[in-house]
A and B are shown apart, each in its own frame.
Chain A
Amino acid sequence: MRDAGRVEVLVVGSGAGGAVTALELANAGIDVCVLEEGSRWPAAAYGQGSVAAMRKMYRRRGMTPILGRVPIGYVEGACLGGSTEINSGFWHRTPREVLLRWKAQFDLAEASPNELADHFDHAEKWLDVSAYGGPLPKSTEAFSRGIEAMGWASQQVPRAAPGCKSTNQCAAGCPTGAKQGMSRSVIPRAQAAGAKVVTDCAVERLVLEGDRATGVLATLRRENGARELVRIDAEHVFVCAGPTETPALLRRSGIKHHVGDSLRIHPMLKVAAYFPEIIDAQDSVLPLLQVKEFWPEISMGGAFFTPGHLAMLLSDNWPDTRDAMGQYRQMASYYVAVRGSGRGSVRPSLLGDGAPVLRYELSHEDGINLSKGLARLATLLLAAGAERVHPTVQGLSTIRSEVEAIRWLDERLPLSALSLTTVHAFSSCPIGERRDRCAANSFGKVHGYHNLYVNDASMLPDSPGVNPQGSVMAFARRNAIHFKESLRA
């Protein structure tokens, strides 16, 4: 019989992985409690601009850089719903070739496209994933012109944002409620099924006894600002704190076997393009098309745009580019992202509060792909009618002609001049049957522990090459169902 002072399943984190885990387990009648470090924000707090969102919804107020020879800007959510509250809502199923590679390299069991199809179907139904229904924004039209001129393969990416009102507030939390972040879609379902959610509860450490996790030590923040150190006991613990916090929490708790050793990201180089016509990208949803011609190594698409984000984008060459701010209504921003074949790590900091320290070193291949990607993206935009393109490369303030652009097909951009960003991180606790490579088995059970699981972006064995939210939700559902069945057995 279960101890009354003990939760049956504790889920640490309420993002794409944690929310789905909670829903599946609660649906099965299991006593589930979700602990979320961030706050639950009311609808009025959404869509209040970048600065307000960074203060409320971003981890460390958006200051979580990835260190390396080329520092990379990285942000993730830290509120109820995690990063799904501040992403663009783009949806991809895990590509078939990626799954095959994971099977080959990590001996990942029961993860074929057919075996995952039902999980994707469920997730898409929860989020009402669909194509954008409104008129295409001008930034997308311009991109589309370029794609057509180049004759490249592309797709309009479906989104988890039915009825999107094109307010351009994705990164600040959708104010209309169209975007189906976890706080709007999955978590209410989980709560309706009986899951409990405690917000403002930062898990500091797992409490371990031998090969079992018996609960967590957490800091609970009260409404009046007071804080308490508490212990919450549980029979099973799912760590779904995201690709950076999950490995940091495991390592802080003394679990290190292939934990935090293999962080992967999609390094991203942005450009701003100036068009002769008014685009007003700051008033519309970000460009919805993605170029797939060079996938999986290189992808291109549209980036979030506000005057502030444009200024950040131009800031590497600010003395030369600041005047372009006067023409921001004729500008839009785009990105080139590469699959990321470099290697990274996550370690809890010894100094200070034990926050994760992220490291990633670009591979030689990454450098080449970014250079080629910039050449192709700039060519595409110039073909679309852009008069100039400003990349986030120090010393390369403007590309005005296709000849200037294609130079980077053959030459490599100097790494020290790159200003890179990413919003996709994963693989810091890879799953699979290869114990020599993986932190957990194919269903997320941490190697060496009987009742401890990882079930978020950290579990993806390697880069999926696409926006990871779909993959995370499908795998999380699959793992939760497997757990449920093993519990019954």
Chain B
Amino acid sequence: MTWHGYRREVASAGSQRVAVAIVGLAASAMFVGLAMRHLDFASVLRSLRSARLLPWVPAATAAYLAGQLVRGQRLRVLVRRESTLSLATASNVVVVGYASNNVFPARLGEFVRAGMLAKLTGIPLTQSLTITFIERLLDGIAILVLLLIGTATLPARPQWMWDVARVGSLVFGVALALLLVAVVLPSFLVSLASRVSASLRPRWRDRVVAFAMSVTAAGACLRRPRDLVVIGAYSLLVWLLESAMFAFILPAFGLELQLAPALTAMSVTNLGILFPSSPGFVGSFHFFCSQALVAQGIPAATALGFAFLVHLTFYVPVTLWGAGAVLFYGVEIGATAAIARAARSSSNATYEQGVPIHRIAELDPPRPGPPASEFDVALVEALLSKEPDMVDRASVDYVAAFVAEEMRALPARLAFLYDAGMVAFRIYVRLRYLRSFCGLGVARRQAAMHSWAFGPIGLLRQLFRPARSTALLAYYDRCEAITKPRRGLELVANA
């Protein structure tokens, strides 16, 4: 980008920021007005003055900060394919996002946080934004689940809460369906994007395709069922801790410490502040939080006081933590915005080896797969060893690593079938021998493996065929063969 181009971008970004801030402040003013109408302001102040801060506010703060750590852990799992983040770094990234939302209007913190994640991990910004979107989606679903639980257990169940749940289910349901398409059918999504955008100008077509590619790349973190379950569990835990923060503030106003009202207040408030508004969600937070409590029969002034205190409980610590993290990492918000803009595609071609190439997006680099598992090693050892001769450890490890790489190279569907088949085999071994495959001696392992790999059932033989063939190929081609009379072949590793 040229200097003049950069200046134009900066000027354009400045005017966009002003517009966003005006809209956010207007929304905020509207919600403040809604919360305050027909309200005796003096009674709100009285309610706040009479609040018992100890030990409830520190307890609520602790619950909220614990939630941030869980968010950090969830982020680690989400980006595990692309990068290894420490819990501290991941939590700091999360907190910088929240702190920025407290300072900037219209949830701009989400972009700051995506920029910081991109900078720290090296993953493309669009992918980082998509991961943020996935987190928000999971948050939304967890909040909805808690809202339904909370509302169902409340003695008074206002209709509007059900309506909120219904609308939320529709919005997040559609988003979840789209995400699942990206996770399960990535190729289809990119094809669809390419076709849908066929009639657009090349610049916009590139953006649509790049976005689709980014979404599918980010969705890869949910492709393993185990990861999906873990991430879902973390999401529920995050919002249970946030509900605990709401619950701990209830006794500060003389209300009973109960989970159901806290669940509904937390859920309604967080669904409400999805609307872009002022920095720190001032206004919208107070409106939705107080309305949730009023619906449960709590006086309006107490409810609004509660909302003020809860807001301060999360606002102050997370903003301070975020500011510290920004100083620590030296993240420049302006620089992050510049990175975001630089990531946009250029319609002009650059020449590479004399070939005009239009760059569209950076993609995540391929990551080496996990090393051979203990099961892979046990399987290879059983296949190669022949009693009483054992194959040397170095050869087994080398072959197991090769077999693991080869199985990962299988087309996705076959790789899945292979994995599923091996799970079935391990269950069979566990039931048959009452021990794990890896825990068996070589002779028993061989017997178990032979009953499938060379047994009468064609399907089971086919299951073992790829691993069997690649293991034997790697072993015998690696080794130097020395024929010895009467003992068959003894193979000595080149190493």
Q: Which A residues lie at the B interface, using CB under 8 A? A: 4-7, 33, 49-51, 54-55, 60-65, 67, 71, 73, 196-198, 204-205, 207-209, 217, 219-220, 225-233, 252-254, 306-312, 315, 317-319, 322-323, 325-329, 348-357, 394, 416-417, 419
Contacts and interface: CB of A to CB of B under 8 A. Distances in A.
B365 A225 contact: yes
Contacts of A229: 209-210, 213, 359-363
Nearest to A309: B473
Given A217-B209, A328-B481, A233 B356 contact: yes
Contacts of B349: 4-5, 233
A70 to B, nearest CB: 9
Interface in B153-203: 184-188, 190-191, 194-195, 198-199, 202
Nearest to B348: A5
A252 B188 CA distance: 8
Nearest to B450: A319
A322 B488 contact: yes
Contacts of A51: 402, 473-474, 477-478
A417 B481 CA distance: 30
Contact of B465 (A71, A226, A252, A325): A71
B476 interface: yes
Contact of B360 (A230, A233, A308): A230
Nearest to A356: B411
A159 B241 CA distance: 72
Q: Which 3 A-B pairs have the closest CB atoms?
A: A352-B412, A308-B477, A354-B187
B406 A205 contact: no
Contact of B355 (A7, A209, A356): A7
Given A254-B195, A308-B473, A352-B412, A225 B187 contact: no
A311 B473 contact: yes
Interface in B371-413: 386, 402, 405-407, 409-413
A317 B411 CA distance: 26
A262 to B, nearest CB: 20
B481 A65 contact: no
Interface string B447-478: 00010011000100110011011001111111
A336 to B, nearest CB: 19
Contacts of B194: 205, 207, 217, 253
Given A64-B411, A311-B475, A5 B358 contact: yes
A71 B348 CA distance: 47
B409 A63 contact: yes
Contacts of B352: 198
A227 to B, nearest CB: 4
A340 to B, nearest CB: 20
B414 interface: yes
B380 to A, nearest CB: 13
Contact of A318 (B198, B405, B413, B454): B454
Given A315-B472, A317-B454, A350-B185, 15 more contacts: A49-B478, A225-B365, A225-B366, A227-B362, A228-B359, A228-B363, A312-B472, A315-B465, A319-B454, A326-B488, A326-B489, A352-B187, A352-B413, A354-B190, A394-B458
B363 A351 contact: no
Contact of B356 (A7, A61, A417, A419): A7
A311 B491 CA distance: 13
A437 B429 CA distance: 50
27 contacts: A5-B356, A7-B355, A49-B478, A50-B473, A51-B473, A51-B477, A65-B414, A197-B353, A205-B194, A209-B199, A217-B360, A227-B362, A229-B209, A229-B359, A229-B361, A229-B363, A232-B357, A322-B386, A326-B489, A351-B187, A353-B186, A353-B187, A354-B186, A357-B413, A394-B454, A417-B458, A419-B465
B256 interface: no
A429 B197 CA distance: 27
A159 B479 CA distance: 30
Given A196-B353, A228-B362, A230-B360, A329 B413 contact: no
A326 B484 CA distance: 8
B354 interface: yes
Contact of A252 (B187, B355, B481): B187
Contacts of B407: 63
B185 A230 contact: no
A329 B484 CA distance: 12
Contact of B358 (A230, A310, A311, A349): A230
A314 to B, nearest CB: 8
A307 B481 contact: yes
B364 interface: yes
Nearest to B413: A351
Nearest to A60: B409
A226 B359 CA distance: 13
B15 interface: no
B183 to A, nearest CB: 10
Nearest to A357: B411
A469 B10 CA distance: 57
B411 A198 contact: no
B16 interface: no
B483 interface: yes
Given A252-B187, A350-B187, A232 B356 contact: yes
Nearest to B352: A198
Interface in B3-45: none
A48 to B, nearest CB: 11
B474 A233 contact: no
Contacts of B479: 307
A50 B489 CA distance: 20
B354 A349 contact: no
B363 A306 contact: no
B473 to A, nearest CB: 4
Interface in B193-246: 194-195, 198-199, 202, 205-206, 209-210, 213
Given A254-B195, A327-B483, A71 B473 contact: no
Contacts of B469: 73, 312, 315
Contact of A315 (B205, B357, B468): B468
Nearest to B364: A227
A63 B353 contact: no
Contacts of B406: 54, 61-63
A254 B356 contact: no
